[in-house]
Amino acid sequence: MRPTTPYRPLDITIPFPELKAYARTATLLHPRSGAPTAGDSSVGGPLLWPADEAWPVCGTDHGGASGVRPERARRYERIVAAAWARPRADDTGQVPYTEAERAELDEMTLSGYQPDRHDGSPLPLLALAQFYVRDVPDLAAFPPPGTDLLQVLWCPFRGHDDASLHDYGPSTRLRWRRAADVTELLSEQPEPAIVERKEYLPNPCVLFPERVVEYPFADYLPGELVERIDAWEDAFQERAGDAAPWYQYDLSLAPGWKIGGWDSWHRTDLMRVYCGACGTEMRLLLTIDSGGGGRSWVPYDEARDARDPTRPVDLYGPTGIKAARDEYRAFVCPADPSHPHRMSTQ
Ligand SMILES: [Zn+2]
Ligand SMILES: [Zn+2]
């Protein structure tokens, strides 16, 4: 079943037609476990990287920082996924690990699941995702002239002194290129020897882009309009109780990995993001979602998995990525795409 989201419980522009002026499309990416190639849009898949271009490295010294080796993190994921996929004998909720698996997981967690230390040598960046404009309609608003492929890499450690809005998550690098320019692929994609957390290491996922319409986080709207929306919500709650939709969670902002659309500020209230080079207000490009949210937005295929106890239920979704409590977002300058992007968390 192709992942798609249900129709909204109602069209918010019927009671509030003035919201039409704020409508923006977003492309939900719906990453799902798979085996992407360099020719596919993906999370955690190989990048279309030319053989004659140096792979980027992190310039920050992470010497002594502790983390986990990627192969160890992947082994952990494989054990958990295999156990979740087994049928269960009872309803206790116990995951049916074998004794050997439980012993190995205990060794990985109890004896410190951060056993590895980085020796300070330059870290190759980790390939996080790539998106072809042809696959992701809302990406078309962003590419610098002559490019049609966005590649996202990150250093899987925190503690960088870069132009990010918040010094919290991994340091990201955005690389735009023209896919047709890549004639000879890099044969082996470098990978850092160690990552700070296994939640910074993506599982390979293919994408199922779906376009939706979004409306802004309330702080972007005029105060008198927000007051009327609040009063409308209160009246709806009185009539319908729990069945009443919320502007924030059901009718405006879609959860999940996405390109474009509006940015939510539900953890902090609105903090507008301005370009460090020219002062222009920046625009949301990419949202990296930590999973867990959803309400009426939960795609049909995920809802089906939740009712099927033999399927794995992954806390952070198929990508395995959790770079912030809810969202880690890349903002870019609409005035000049060569200006450095900024990251923000929610
Ligand atoms: Zn770094
Ligand atoms: Zn700028």
The 10s digit of each residue's pLDDT in 322-343 is 999 899 999 999 999 999 999 9
Ligand 2 center to 285 CA (angstroms):
14
Instruction: Indicate which ligand has the atom closest to the C-alpha of 282.
Output: 2
Query: Dihedral angle at the C-alpha atoms of 228, 234, 235, 236, nearest 10 degrees?
Result: 110
Domain span at residue 337 reads: 17-68+114-345
Q: Work out the percent of the chain whose per-residue pLDDT is above 70.
A: 90
Classify residue 224: in a domain, yes or no.
Answer: yes
Question: Ligand nearest 277 Cα, by number?
Answer: 2
DSSP at 245: P
What pLDDT is recorded for position 47? 98
Cα(319) to centroid(ligand 1), Å: 21
Cβ–Cβ < 8 Å for 325, 290: yes
Residue 86 pLDDT:
82
Per residue in 231-269, pLDDT tens? 999 999 999 998 899 999 999 999 999 999 999 999 999
Q: Is residue 104 part of a domain?
A: no
Distances in Å between the alpha carbon of 225 and those of 8, 219, 244, 280?
21, 10, 19, 26
Q: Tell how far the Cα of 52 is from the centroid of ligand 2, in angstroms.
A: 30
Residue 261 within any structural domain of the chain: yes
Find the ligand nearest to 338 CA: 2
Residue 111 confidence class, pLDDT cut points 50, 70, 90: low
C-alpha to C-alpha distance for 333 and 329, rounded to whole angstroms: 14
Give me the number of domains the chain comprises.
Answer: 1
Ligand nearest to the CA of 153: 1
Please determine, for residue 179, whether its predicted confidence score (pLDDT) is greater than 70.
yes
- CATH number of the domain to which 324 belongs: 2.30.320
Ligand in closest contact with the CA of 121: 1
Q: What is the mean pLDDT of the chain?
A: 89
DSSP at 50: B
Instruction: Say yes or no to pLDDT of 96 above 70.
Output: yes
| Separation between Cα atoms, residue 71 and residue 73, nearest integer Å | 5
Residue 277 to residues 220, 258, 330, 339, 340, Cα–Cα distance (Å): 23, 25, 16, 6, 7
Q: Identify whether the C-beta of residue 311 lies closer than 8 Å to the C-beta of residue 132.
A: no
Q: How far is the CA of 295 from the centre of ligand 2 (A)?
A: 36
Q: What angle do CA 79, 82, 83 make, to 5 degrees?
A: 85
227, part of any domain: yes
| Residue 314: band (very low, low, confident or very high) from pLDDT cuts 50, 70, 90 | low
Nearest to 286 by CA among 165, 166, 147, 129: 129
Q: Is residue 107 part of a domain?
A: no
Q: Tell me, yes or no, whether 94 lies in a domain.
A: no
pLDDT, tens only, 130-176:
999 999 999 999 999 999 999 999 999 988 876 566 657 899 999 99
Q: What ligand has the least distance to the C-alpha of 273?
A: 2
Between CA 7 and CA 14, with CA 8 as vertex, the angle to 5 degrees is 125
> What is d(CA 255, CA 160) in angstroms, rounded to the nearest whole number?
27
Structural domain contains residue 322 = yes
Q: 124 C-alpha vs ligand 1 centroid, how far in Å?
A: 9
Which ligand sits closest to the CA of 160? 1
Question: How far does the centroid of ligand 1 lie from the alpha carbon of residue 328, in Å?
Answer: 17
Instruction: Count Cα neighbours of 126 within 13 Å in the Cβ-side half-sphere.
Output: 25
Instruction: List, for residues 76-93, the tens digit of each pLDDT value.
Output: 888 888 887 787 766 666
Task: Please tell me the predicted confidence (pLDDT) of residue 94.
Answer: 74
Lowest mean pLDDT among 4-8, 202-206, 281-285, 307-311: 307-311
Q: 338 CA to middle of ligand 1, Å?
A: 21
- Residue 256, helix vs strand vs coil: coil
3-state SS, one letter per residue, for 121-146? CCEECEEEEEEECCCCHHHHHCCCCC
**Ligand 2 centroid vs 131 CA: distance in angstroms?**
23
Is 83 domain-assigned? no
- Predicted confidence at residue 169, as pLDDT, reads 85
* Helix (H/G/I), strand (E/B), else coil: 184: coil
Examine the pLDDT at 202 and tell me if it is beyond 90: yes
Kindly report, residue by residue over 2-60, the tens digit of the pLDDT. 889 999 999 999 999 999 999 999 999 999 999 999 999 999 999 999 999 999 999 88
| CA 337 – CA 346 distance, rounded (Å) | 24
Q: Which ligand has the minimum distance to the alpha carbon of residue 154?
A: 1
Ligand nearest to the CA of 335: 2
